[in-house]
Amino acid sequence: MLLNVYNRFPVNFVKGEGLTLIDDKGDRYLDFVSGIAVNALGHAHPKMVETIQKQAETLLHVSNLYYNEAQNKAAEKLLEATKYERVFFCNSGAEANELALKIARKYGKGISPSKNVILYMKNSFHGRTTGTLAVTGQEKYQADYRPLIPNTVEVEFNNVAELKAKFNDDICAIILEPVQGEGGLASASSEFIAEIKALSEKHNSLVIFDEIQCGLSRTGTVLYSDQLPLKADVVTLAKALGGGVPIGACITKGRANEILVPGDHGSTYGGNPFVCSVAYTVLSEITTPEFLANVRKMSDYARQKLSELQVKHPEIEEIRGQGLLLGFKLKENLAAGDFVKKALEHKLLLVAAGGNVVRYFPALIVTEKEIDATIPILDQVFTEMKK
């Protein structure tokens, strides 16, 4: 019935409450996937439900031929929280990255016909469109779809020497996830970020941060890059922005603001009143100082608990990630995919990432009690897998 593009787990969920998912048999699961960092406020958050009901009775769609108040409010809230200047709303992270690439290419063309090369990172993930695949540094995603768009060059993440060797005046932009998601939760080093800043200034190139997974409060600041000494020209967002409804955003500042003109880009559904009203509600919750402080508190607590587990189970090679974008890398004797399947049997939802990493992504409203509830399950999975 469905196109065969997912290896789905054998469970059918029918209801959600906070960090709990309930299947069609009535079994309850603790959700530490959060729709892959989407459900920032958990499931069926009352303020989201209220907004959805109210907006459904008011206005769903009018197209971008006209202004709508929900889009205006969402834009104002997002730009105020991120300190950026312009935004385009679309339907997904991949679409946001497509727009970022178009901005980069047109920017370069305005300087020189040869300034059209985009640097991207090995093990990155920016989407599954033919454009974003060209800057997704994983052969398993690219192989069957070549030829991809030209003039994209891969750089090893955190390899300063290689970055220097490949950066030149033909580079119109560099795109990276400051914390790689699908690539295994590796974080950009301070040396790498400093070199990107220096080289992009030297060669007059745009910097694009893909914060689709690490942005919007998951690391305890509105943008993860708020913690970095480099503010990108373009930032792409999605996932947590809608808390479960499909919306993405591409935000810009400075020289990136005015590159595109009417007719250069568009989206039929992007920024419709329905999704923007929900995004406004989500942003109003997750960007307050009190909410961010609690994310940082829960992050410290979760990392502490995972560290204690690592002492008992040295099969955990490393705890990775930032904030509540957490995960643990397993040693080669255990496979992350097998670990996730075994955890599912114990009613704990996890998801694997590259590099044999198990992602641990609770909703941002997680409590100490819910974190505590995962530890004996993880302990049991380790014990069973070692037998």
385 inside domain: no
215 inside domain: yes
The Cα angle at residue 172 between residues 167 and 178, in degrees rounded to 5: 70
Q: Average pLDDT in the 351-369 region?
A: 97
Query: Are 280 and 211 in the same domain?
Result: yes
Q: What percent of the chain has pLDDT over 90?
A: 99
Question: What is the CATH classification number for the domain harbouring 318?
Answer: 3.90.1150.10
Q: Quick count: other Cβ atoms within 10 Å of Cβ 373?
A: 15
Q: Residue 264's pLDDT is what?
A: 97
Average pLDDT for the chain: 97
374 inside domain: no
C-alpha to C-alpha distances, 110 to 25, 117, 176, 233, 333, nearest whole angstrom? 59, 13, 23, 16, 52
pLDDT bracket for residue 118 (50, 70, 90): very high
Overall domain count for the chain? 2
Query: Are 205 and 222 in the same domain?
Result: yes
- CA 167/CA 138 separation, integer angstroms: 21
Q: Residue 276's pLDDT is what?
A: 98
Query: Are 302 and 330 in the same domain?
Result: yes
Query: Are 257 and 168 in the same domain?
Result: yes
What is the residue type of 72? N
Query: Are 131 and 275 in the same domain?
Result: yes
Q: Which of 264, 286, 308 is the last residue in one of the domains?
A: 286
Query: Are 205 and 101 in the same domain?
Result: yes
Question: What is the C-alpha radius of gyration for the chain, rounded to an integer number of angstroms?
Answer: 21
Q: Residue 146's pLDDT is what?
A: 95
Residues 21-52 pLDDT 10s: 999 999 999 999 999 999 999 999 999 999 99
Residues 283-335 pLDDT 10s: 999 999 999 999 999 999 999 999 999 999 999 999 999 999 999 999 999 99
348 inside domain: yes
pLDDT bracket for residue 384 (50, 70, 90): very high
110 inside domain: yes
Query: Are 90 and 141 in the same domain?
Result: yes
Q: Average pLDDT in the 202-211 region?
A: 98
Residue 341: which domain range?
13-19+29-45+289-369
Query: Are 58 and 98 in the same domain?
Result: yes
Q: Average pLDDT in the 135-154 region?
A: 96
Question: What is the CATH classification number for the domain harbouring 270?
Answer: 3.40.640.10
Query: Are 36 and 115 in the same domain?
Result: no
Residues 224-273 pLDDT 10s: 999 999 999 999 999 999 999 999 999 999 999 999 999 999 999 999 99
Query: Are 132 and 271 in the same domain?
Result: yes
User: Is the pLDDT assigned to residue 387 strictly greater than 80?
Assistant: no
The Cα angle at residue 131 between residues 89 and 197, in degrees rounded to 5: 75
C-alpha to C-alpha distances, 276 to 43, 213, 246, 370, nearest whole angstrom? 18, 19, 10, 30
Q: Average pLDDT in the 185-200 region?
A: 98
Q: Residue 386's pLDDT is what?
A: 83
Query: Are 305 and 278 in the same domain?
Result: no
Q: Residue 242's pLDDT is what?
A: 98
Q: Average pLDDT in the 48-58 region?
A: 98
81 inside domain: yes
Query: Are 131 and 97 in the same domain?
Result: yes
376 inside domain: no
202 inside domain: yes
Q: Which of 286, 303, 335 is the last residue in one of the domains?
A: 286
User: Is the pLDDT assigned to residue 128 strictly greater than 80?
Assistant: yes
Q: Which of 231, 266, 286 is the last residue in one of the domains?
A: 286
